[in-house]
Structure 1
Amino acid sequence: MISLYEFIKRAKFGDKESLEYLILKFKPIIGSISRRLNMEYAKTDMIIFFIELVKNMNIDNIKNLSDGALVKYIEKSLRRKYINLNKRGLIVEVELDDVFKSSTDEYTEIEFKMFLNEIKNKRIINEKQSYVLFAKYFNLNTDQEIAYELEISRQAVNKMHRLAIKNIREYLYSSKGVC
């Protein structure tokens, strides 16, 4: 019987069957965490993280570990990713979501566009980030819809969104900002 270490080693060096075996082996924990995240495409994000985790594992450090220890290590890494995604999701949702989704009249749209233009002119965010924020918070588009319009991946949209929120937060909390 092949050990978990051997499957990880093979997957790390490009063996697709070994990687598929590992994904199937950890599918229950990935599924459980994904359901608790309650986010669009959470399962995809967790599988991508899992693949990156396997590819980036230092084989020399895990060579002498038992299968049980490897399972515990991978499970703990997946749970840490869950905590990270969960925290990030809660912080971002409160920021612009509550402010601009509460009322959707023409004045709110004008105010939101003025806000985006101001921070864009001050080079806090770029044009694409501004588009992503407007599409996401005012038009209520999903990341997948925005990705299709911009002809980029959903992950790239998510990254642009997170970076824009981070830059706005830093600006608002700095001496230059309003807060």
Structure 2
Amino acid sequence: MRNLYEIIQSCKDGNEEDVIFILNKFDPLINKYSRLLEYEDTKQELSLTLIKVLQRIRIDKGNFREDKYIISYIKKSIINRYIALLKQLSKVSRYESEADINLIYADNDEDVLEMCDLLKDLTEIERKVIILKYMYMMKDSEIAILNNISRQVVNQAKNRAISKLRLYFKKSLNIVDK
């Protein structure tokens, strides 16, 4: 039986059967991290990472003649790619949740347009805070964590936004302060 060193050397030389053998050997690890991400292309992404690792790995250096070091290197490479994908997906989900106006439950299109008009006068952070707080019913601390800001910044943005919205409603209803 050949060891991993010989199999990876064969993969570097272009032997497709050995590449498939390695993919099958690390399939449980790839499945584990693809399930954790719950993203449709994760398994393919991690499999591609493994194939790239097979081409990049410098088996002629260090202790790579022993299987345990090769396995550890491949495992760390897959975990690092998982972490990078996780960070990338968290950024995407943060931007998707900013102002998804389609989630506003309105009786008609005019209500949606009026809500859009109200929100466009707010700054980006004020808009995020109002949407997350009142549409998604999130707590200030949750909003702070999601946007990498302090709770105090969330509270200040919320108060500024509410003040702007009050002023807007006063103007639209022709209410004058005494």
Question: Which TM-score band applies after superposition, normalised by the shorter structure?
Answer: 0.5 to 0.7
The 8 Å contact of residues 62 and 70 in structure 1, kept in 2 or not, is answered as no
2:103 is matched with: 102
1:85 is matched with: 85
In the alignment of these two chains, the number of paired residues is 111
**Aligned pairs (5 A) from 1:17-36:** 17-36=17-36
The 8 Å contact of residues 5 and 62 in structure 1, kept in 2 or not, is answered as no
Distance 1:36 1:62 in 2: 32
Cα RMSD for the two superposed structures:
2.5
Q: Pick closer, same or farther for the CA change 1:24–1:97 going to 2, 3 Å.
A: same
1:3 is matched with: 3
**Aligned pairs (5 A) from 1:1-179:** 1-61=1-61, 64-100=64-100, 101-103=102-104, 107=113
Distance 1:83 1:36 in 2: 11
1:161 is matched with: none
TM-score by length of 2: 0.55
Q: Pick closer, same or farther for the CA change 1:70–1:92 going to 2, 3 Å.
A: same
Deviation readout 1:15-69 (Å, 9 max, x if unpaired): 0000010001101101111100111111111111111111122232256431011
TM-score by length of 1: 0.55
Structure 2 unaligned regions, length at least 5:
118-178
Distance 1:25 1:62 in 2: 23
Give 3-state SS (helix, strand or coil) of 1:61's partner. coil
Structure 1 unaligned regions, length at least 5:
112-179
Larger Rg: 2
Give 3-state SS (helix, strand or coil) of 1:99's partner. coil
Distance 1:67 1:45 in 2: 24
Corresponding letter in the other structure for 1:34:
S
Distance 2:64 2:88 in 1: 35
Q: Pick closer, same or farther for the CA change 1:12–1:80 going to 2, 3 Å.
A: same
Identical pairs, percent: 28
Q: Pick closer, same or farther for the CA change 1:103–1:26 going to 2, 3 Å.
A: same
Deviation readout 1:130-154 (Å, 9 max, x if unpaired): xxxxxxxxxxxxxxxxxxxxxxxxx
Deviation readout 1:62-102 (Å, 9 max, x if unpaired): 56431011111111111111111111101111113441253
